[in-house]
Amino acid sequence: MNVLVAADIADEAIARLEKHFTVTKAFGLNEKELIERARDADVLVVRSKPMVTRKVIESAKHLKMVARAGVGLDNIDLEACNEHDIQVVNAPSALSESVAELVFAMLLSFERNIVRADNSLKEEKWIKKELKGVELHKKTIGIIGFGRIGSHIATIAKGFGMTPIAYDVHWDQEMADELGVEFRELDALLSESDYVTLHVPLLPQTRGMIAAGELAKMKDSAIIINTSRGGIVDEKALYSALQEGMIRGACLDVFENEPPGDDKLVKHPHVLATPHVGASTEEAQTKAGVIIADKVIEALVP
């Protein structure tokens, strides 16, 4: 059987696949190129790119499985896969630690003005008096999406002496009790939290779930953190909220359009932005690739 690896995954994962399949690697493909390369593939391995569209799926007559080395499935036409009996697998457990750690890296950087402090010294400026920060200790962090990543956020937050509260449409009371996290309805979470962090998939029902109305319910001292998917936050509404002082800041790793280009939100002085690096650690990428390789082997090797 043929496996087309259309995104860069760990060498260890490739080695595992090569023991059982004929593996071809081709990165940076557009739709037309992917259609051509996937024509004879039994398995297609991707990350957040390329887009696995209906055209790709319907052209790949031998395709049995699409394997996403990561969590989000919004770049895969799941309806088309279902219609053609193509199995879709991902690696949701691989990225939890890396994404959760980035949330706190961004929060600490924002609250302690680390980027500005570093830049000022590189410019031979000593602006210590302008860099007074804010502690995370005794602050409330509201977690929207209390799954693998959200629960890990809660654990780290406890270490900082923070109070984690959470909202999820599929609430796991047993896990919440174990971690000492209290449930809040979404509106209550938004109004109580000093920090609001998003950890939900991009689905029709979550697209734009944080819009002008939700931002208006937040404290004017609050910071919103989005490391999930760009479409979950209405970026125009967020920009307006920042301009009007409705919230204090935003930490963004994901955007509606990636790369965002000449984007006024990214350039806003109260925004800390990174280029979708939540899962970009050696450990996360190795785990994601290996998990996917093992799932492909388990499903297709007798």
Residues annotated as catalytic (active site), given as ranges? 229, 258, 276
Three-state SS letters, 217-276? CCCCCCEEEECCCHHHECHHHHHHHHHCCCCCEEEECCCCCCCCCCCCCCCCCCEEECCC
Tokens, residue 147: 């799954």
Q: How far is CA 178 from CA 43, 155, 236, 241, 275, in A?
A: 39, 10, 38, 36, 34
The angle that helices 114-122 and 96-111 make with each other, rounded to 10 degrees, is 60
Nearest to 252 by CA among 293, 294, 301, 196: 196
Tokens, residue 142: 């509201």
**Residue 247 and residue 167: Cα distance in Å, rounded?**
20
Q: Can you point out the beta strands (E) in the chain?
A: 2-5, 22-25, 43-46, 65-68, 87-89, 140-144, 163-167, 182-183, 195-198, 223-226, 249-252, 271-273
Q: What are phi and psi of 251, to 5 degrees?
A: -115, 115
Nearest to 151 by CA among 184, 179, 190: 179
Beta bridge partner(s), residue 146: none
SS3 label, residue 44: strand
Tokens, residue 151: 């629960």
Q: What is the CA radius of gyration of the chain?
A: 21
